[in-house]
Amino acid sequence: MVSSTDTISASFVSKKSRSPETSPHMKVTLKVKNQQGAEDLYKIGTHAHLKKLMSAYCTKRNLDYSSVRFVYNGREIKARQTPAQLHMEEEDEICMVMELGGGGPYTP
């Protein structure tokens, strides 16, 4: 069985995650959908910060992190929220919206 998954590794691995006593943690698969309908699948821990998912999406799509907004159930996702806090389940869908710009305030 050849697995077709990509792994985004962290820069370092802590000792605790490698210890054999640690039980395997829950992971959840989430879909990120942009405004054109393209879907990406990500598997992330239920207690991990969603900023990692958002950064991974922006890296993959070559987007500026500050110029996008992620919406789940009509609310914006904050960087330090976790899937457990938002009660996300398997194959839940996150919508990605581009931030739009216009004219700015006039400062003499």
Partner 1 sequence: MSRRRSNRVRNTNSKYVSSPARVTIIDDCEEDEYLHHRTCWKHIAAALSKCGSKPKRTKELEIFKLTAPCFYDECTRRGRSERRIKCKYLDSKLRKKLNSKAFVGYLEDVWRGFSDEKKNSFVYLDCLWFSMYKSENHNIRSSVFDSVKTKQIFSKKYVFLPIVYWSHWTLLIFCNFGEDLDSDKTCMLFLDSLQTTDSSQRLEPDIRKFVLDIYRAEGRTEDSSLVDEIPFYVPMVPQQTNDVECGSFVLYYIHRFIEDAPENFNVEDMPYFLKEDWFSHKDLEKFCDELHSLGTIH
CB of 87 to partner 1, least distance (A): 15
Binding positions for partner 1, rule: CB under 8 A: 1-10, 12-14, 16-17, 25, 27, 29, 33-37, 39-45, 47-49, 52-53, 56, 60, 66-67, 69, 71, 73-75, 80, 82, 84, 93, 95, 97, 99-108
Q: Which residues contact 86 (CB under 8 A, 6 or more apart)?
A: 50, 72, 73, 77
- Determine how many CB atoms are found less than 10 A away from the CB of residue 20: 5
Three-class SS of residue 75?
strand
Min CB(16)–partner 1 separation in Å: 6
Q: Where are the beta strands (DSSP E) in 23-67?
A: 27-33, 39-45
Minimum distance from residue 27 beta carbon to partner 1 (Å) = 8
